[in-house]
Amino acid sequence: MRRITSALFLVGLAVLVAAVYQQMNLLVTPLAGDAINASAGQQVGAGNIVTAVVLAFRGFDTLLELTILFTAATVGGLVLGKPRADAPRDPDAGFILQAGADLFFPLLLVVGLYIILHGHLTPGGGFQGGVVLAAAFFIPVLARPGTTLDHHAVSLIEGLAGAAFILIGLLAMLGGEVFLTPLLDKGELGALFSAGTLPLLYLAVGLKVGAELAGLLAQLAATEATD
Amino acid sequence: MEWLVLMIVIVMLLSAVAVLLMKNFIAALAALSVVSLGMSVLFVILRAPDVAMTEAAIGAGLSSLMFALALRRLGLWKD
């Protein structure tokens, strides 16, 4: 059974590589998305139309999405509870997992922050990068079951990031605009510091999602393992 | 391009059926993430890289992790 799974995984990997290779020659076909992409840059200053929609045109939806995620994580944390004091601890992970975790932590940190900070330019953004950040902080916990995440710091980051998102939205109202209207200078299209407040909003989203999911995963891992 | 999509769909279907038939929970979990991986490649081909990233990060990564932790909690995490 294990061989079949390995074979399936290898086939999937081969298809992935083939797809990426194929995609390189296929980027010339014109699609309707290009027209929308071209107009979003002038209106919001974001090179990525999805970010323009998620944060500028439909920012309030994103706030509610964050609320849903927050509620789900909170309820999950409530249901999971704490392990008994005399519960048996998990054995330490092997050398391979520990070395892999040490290697992966900085890599995932850089990839996650890159995806978040370039969310207004390239595909990806706060939600995707936040998940990568959560994985980065969870893998060391998985490799060394003795260590735990600092839950106070995690909830502090989560709360501050959520407050920052709402605060940026309220700042727009001070100027007489609608809630969550993009502020600041649009800047040059394609530059890292452009698109006004969109990168700041995505940074808040990324930190909130990352902190939430890392906390939830750490709590899930800390529950007692029945044997 | 069609052969590639066809291959991905076949791999996805095979691994989805394998999830149902496998007795080993860890193997079923690995097959489940292959379904998500194929899905994210399909999204890339359909030129929705944002959705592909989400599918790869959440579908293949995070949800497998959650399933793995749940299996361990239920005492099913063994060969």
- The tens digit of pLDDT for each residue in B36-52 reads 989 998 888 888 888 88
pLDDT score at A110: 94
B-chain residues near A26 (CB < 8 A): 1
Judged by CB atoms within 8 Å, which residues 30-59 of A form the interface with B?
A: 31, 33, 48, 50
Q: What is the ipTM of this complex?
A: 0.80
Determine contact: B54 vs chain A, CB below 8 A.
yes
Asked if residue B30 belongs to a domain, the reply is yes
Model confidence pLDDT, tens digit, residues A118-171: 888 888 888 888 999 998 888 888 888 777 778 888 888 888 888 888 888 888
**Chain B closest-CA separation from residue A174 CA (Å):** 33
How far is A175 from chain B, CA to nearest CA, in Å? 32
Q: What is the pLDDT of residue B13?
A: 92
B78 touches chain A (CB under 8 A): no
Partner-chain contact A11 B44, CB within 8 Å: no
pTM (predicted TM-score): 0.78
* pLDDT for position A24: 59
Domain range for B20 is 2-74
A224 touches chain B (CB under 8 A): yes
Q: Contact A225/B73, CB-based, under 8 Å? A: yes
Contact A186, A195 (CB under 8 A): yes
Q: Is residue B79 part of a domain?
A: no
**pLDDT averaged per 10 residues in sequence order, chain A, 227 residues:** 78 78 58 65 72 80 88 85 69 83 92 88 84 88 78 86 86 77 69 76 89 86 65
Q: Which residues of chain B have pLDDT under 50?
A: none
Contact B57 A138 (CB under 8 A): no
In a domain, B6, yes or no: yes
Q: What was the pLDDT predicted at A225?
A: 58
Nearest neighbour of B4 by CB, restricted to A19, A115, A220: A19
How many domains does the structure of chain B reveal?
Answer: 1
